[in-house]
Amino acid sequence: MTEHTARTATIGGIAASPGYAIAKAYRLQRDEIKPVQKQVADAAAETDRFRQAIGKAKAELKQIHELTRQRLGEEKAEIFEAHLLLLEDPDLIDVAMEQIEQDNVNADFALHSVAATFIDALLAMDNELLRERAADIRDVSGRVIAALHGAAYTTVSGVTEESVIIAEDLAPSDTALLDVNIVRGFATEIGSRTSHSAIMSRSLGIPAIVGAGSSLMDIETGTMIILDAVKGKIIVAPSDGELEQYRHIQEQYEQRRAELAGLKSEPTVSADGAHMELAANIGSVEDVQKALDNGAEGIGLFRTEFLYMGRSALPTEEEQFNVYKYVLEKMDGKPVVIRTLDIGGDKELPYMKLPKESNPFLGLRAVRLCLQEQDLFRTQLRALLRASRYGNLKIMFPMIALREELRECKRLLQEERTKLIAEGIEVAERIEVGIMIEIPAAALAADQFAKEVDFFSIGTNDLIQYTMAADRMNETVSYLYQTCHPSVLRLIRMVISAASKEGKWVGMCGEMAGDESAIPLLLGMGLHEFSMSASSILPARAQIRSLSRQQWAERIDSVLELGSEQEIKQVVQQHVNS
């Protein structure tokens, strides 16, 4: 969306990497080569030319891989290993070769047409992560086509002075080659927070906005702009007053970042000396490093659904084992809570014929599905058990409503443990087992569940939704989705109290755990672990270090007597500011 004042235009987008940049725009436009079909007289010579271009592209990608590895680490460089593998992919390269040989067409046209088929198929998918992978094929095929034409593929080398790059999109290789000494940030017309370029921008620590729309490319090179990648907006041709205002905001932001960075290795201790754990919620292998970079003391929620989505068949036990092992080793003894498969509701698997339900959030999902599809469940449990000896694994079952469900899950887990030991496979001697408290029935029966688990993790996103009978994604009833509603807070305190009586610990892995309005209340209730997005960890640590657990414990009773979320938030704010 674009807003105009007398001289200034403001373009909205998605904040992909937080921060502020003030500089002149550099509009990056790749001279895209659009191959035209031609007949070639010598197909063998054309395939040789194709192989040479692939060789040149491989050499370039190896250089980019090494540069990225040195700058950002092995994990971020893996994308270029994937690009190198694409240059050997028979579905891409061999099919293009066949077109050259059978149809006597030029190599650039053959590759372009095969790549376009894959790109169109990926862009048509519902899964955002898969749509983003279309950029990888576009990047790799574009590099080979440029080599076939004897042209340079990369264009970021043209940036020679302090700039904010404006582009339709940035290929992963473009982002990896950015000179952060002069590139102050970038904005793209398309893209999402999950694109490789967005992920790399966060690693590079430069502000970035994606998905800003077509009006972005109307900005001329040399135009002064402000990139506000905190609120997700680009201010074009700002006034002197706006420039002064944002320079002050930028200075304060950098000062605050420096203060928070100093807390990365510090323990999470309240002002009166109470220790608690700040952990990260992750949904992919790539998120692990970000958690560590932000000072996470563990992984409080590892969502395993990504292993099952965007593919044509269930993941094998070996695939899952390798992922779990990697994460446990990467966390080096820090606790890792892995949630078993939570499919259903808003997540479906195309290769599983799940029944169509009028209300899937109240239907066959999570543990309910796993207990029905026990082969699927047992495979995941085996992979988790095999990985357990490589770190501090804790297993968590989601959407538990009945003790019978929990007992069946534990029975299957024990059966698979016994089988593995009989097979001579080592399993950790002790693995903590817990449940997510996200159904009011489980919260109300927390005293009974606490006798049968090692821990609880409160999933507030669903707990609030089910307690308030309001779909959190439905704008018309979003006013009912209240994090600090008295009834929600009373349920949370009930769960923490029940667990404490049995000597069990309680975490929270919903968005509420990182909510600055809720943190003082959760601290006072005695929550042991706060699990949140990695970027929220250091601000939360700073806040907790300024609060007294004892003082907030003494206030809880009176706060919970208040009748509305508004009143509760006002009281919290008054005490925090006093």
**How many whole angstroms separate alpha carbon 127 and alpha carbon 351?**
14
Neighbour-count burial of 88, counting CB atoms closer than 10 A to its CB (0-12 exposed, 13-18 middle, 19+ buried): exposed
SS (H, E, C) 543-567: HHHCCCHHHHHHHHHHHHCCCCHHH
Q: Is 462 annotated as a binding residue?
A: yes
Whether 379 contacts 317, CB under 8 Å:
yes
**How many whole angstroms separate alpha carbon 462 and alpha carbon 361?**
9
For residue 459, give the DSSP letter: -
Among 65, 83, 196, 528, the active-site one is 196
Neighbouring CB atoms inside 10 A of 67's CB total 15
Whether 482 contacts 464, CB under 8 Å:
yes
Among 83, 112, 509, 528, the active-site one is 509
Q: Is 472 annotated as a binding residue?
A: yes
Q: Is 438 annotated as a binding residue?
A: yes
| DSSP three-state, residue 330 | helix
Q: Is 303 annotated as a binding residue?
A: yes
Cα angle: 16, vertex 22, 27; to 5 degrees: 75
506-525 burial, b if ≥16 CB within 10 A, otherwise e?
bbbbbbbbbbebbbbbbbbb
Q: Is 461 annotated as a binding residue?
A: yes
Is 484 among the catalytic positions?
no
Whether 439 contacts 466, CB under 8 Å:
yes
Amino acid at 173: S
Task: Tell me the torsion sign for CA atoms 441, 447, 452, 455.
Answer: positive
Phi-psi region of 212 (alpha: psi -120 to 50; beta: other; left: phi over 0): alpha
**Which are the catalytic amino acids?**
196, 509
Name the binding residues.
303, 339, 438, 461-462, 472
Name the binding residues for phosphoenolpyruvate.
303, 339, 461-462, 472
